[in-house]
Amino acid sequence: MAHTILLTNGTVVTPEGILEKGEVFIEDGMIQEVGTSIKRQANQQIDAQGGYVLPGFIDMHIHGASGADVMDATEEALQTMADVLPKEGTTSFLATSMTQAPGAIEAALKNAAAFTTKPGQAQMLGVHLEGPFVSPKRAGAQPIEYICPPDAEQFDAWQKAAEGKIRMVTLAPEEENGMSFIRKLAAEGIVASMGHTNATIAQMEEAAEAGAVQATHLYNQMSPFHHREPGAIGGALLVDELCAEVIADFIHSHPKAVELAYRVKGADRLILITDAMRAKGLEPGEYDLGGQPVHVTETDARLSDGTLAGSILTMEHAVKNVVRTLGISPLDVAKVSSGNAARQLGLAKKGSLIAGNDADIVILDKEWTVMHTICGGVIGYEHNGKS
């Protein structure tokens, strides 16, 4: 018999607006109906108790969680990430690599290619290749010794190892071959995202004309804004073709800087990400990122020289931060936490609560705490402790 769920009594956020006392009917992993008086019987019923019902969060930029890292290149690491992410409302993610020796990157890609998501887990949508095609002048926590200019031949070899699962690449457009590499990515339907870049605003504009569509962790490891040279930050904000990722932990960027991004880019071109590393969800202490020691406190993760090394942010807290500080509406929350990422990645059946879409759903109470997460029609997390 088909597995069915009827979700009732929710503040359901749809692309057309908010349904008070809304309902969602799920069958075999798909949303079959969204409305206010659904006349169908279900095997399972969930009372949303008036809470917000949104499309499940999509994290396009995450390196690790709960002791696991994509660069571990093990099935266990990806299983751990897929298991724990529903707790923060995330129903799908891009496994994000980082600058390392070519062999280490290849091993991580082969591991991702072989990975299969289990029912109730966050779905690994593919890989975000962050580096090594970045600027050594804006390395941040990317190991500088492995940084190199964009290399189409090397990328093709890696994409083969990944069995076509590389969906997004962070690169510096100003580096040698940068613009031609962007044209190649765009032609192959891969998200070209400008990050770890020392580009001028003119180079950012040229990159967008070549097919770049995104800016990686806005403000961080980008040439700064100056009134006589607006730099990569100015380009990320002003070039309409670019969506911008934001790490809304208010450590990577001041709350007013996040507000500026929201005002300039608008809810349709801002994407919440975590950029989380393996210490997310664990106690403060000593960890590593890309083979480099990282000191983790209650609030952040840094290299020995003080450089930020990813975050320990959850998507749940990113949402809470932008709601409480910027006062953004539930409709806009759905866009910045899910809808925009789905559009960027060409995921026609994710990112919005409409009939025919995947049943990837998060239910949050009025304080924006995650109460239930449904991944592909299977409950992946319940706030009462069961998962």
Instruction: Identify the active-site residue in 59, 249, 275, 332.
Output: 275
d(CA 203, CA 197) in angstroms, rounded, equals: 10
CB 296 within 8 A of CB 65: no
Q: Which of 23, 69, 31, 30 is nearest to 50 (CA)?
A: 23
d(CA 209, CA 246) in angstroms, rounded, equals: 22
pLDDT of 346 above 60: yes
Q: Which of 340, 348, 350 is nearest to 374 (CA)?
A: 350
Region 320-349: mean pLDDT is: 98
Encoded tokens for 92: 């799908």
Architecture field, domain 57-344? Alpha-Beta Barrel (3.20)
Region 188-196: mean pLDDT is: 98
pLDDT of 290 above 90: no
Quickly state the pLDDT bin for 1 (edges 50, 70, 90): low
pLDDT of 291 above 90: no
* Mean pLDDT rounded to a whole number for the chain: 97
Architecture field, domain 4-54+352-382? Roll (2.30)
d(CA 350, CA 164) in angstroms, rounded, equals: 20
Encoded tokens for 95: 């496994």
- Say what the pLDDT of residue 384 is: 78
Measured torsion, CA atoms of residues 373, 318, 108, 302, in degrees rounded to the nearest 10: -140
Q: Give the percent of the chain with pLDDT over 90.
A: 97
Say whether 360 is catalytic. no
d(CA 58, CA 52) in angstroms, rounded, equals: 17
d(CA 180, CA 327) in angstroms, rounded, equals: 41
Region 125-143: mean pLDDT is: 97
Encoded tokens for 64: 């690790």
Q: Where in the chain is the domain with CATH 2.30.40.10?
A: 4-54+352-382
pLDDT in tens, 304-332: 999 999 999 999 999 999 999 999 999 99
Segment (H or E) for 370:
strand 370-375
- Say what the pLDDT of residue 103 is: 97
Q: Where in the chain is the domain with CATH 3.20.20.140?
A: 57-344
pLDDT of 387 above 60: no
pLDDT in tens, 197-239: 999 999 999 999 999 999 999 999 999 999 999 999 999 999 9
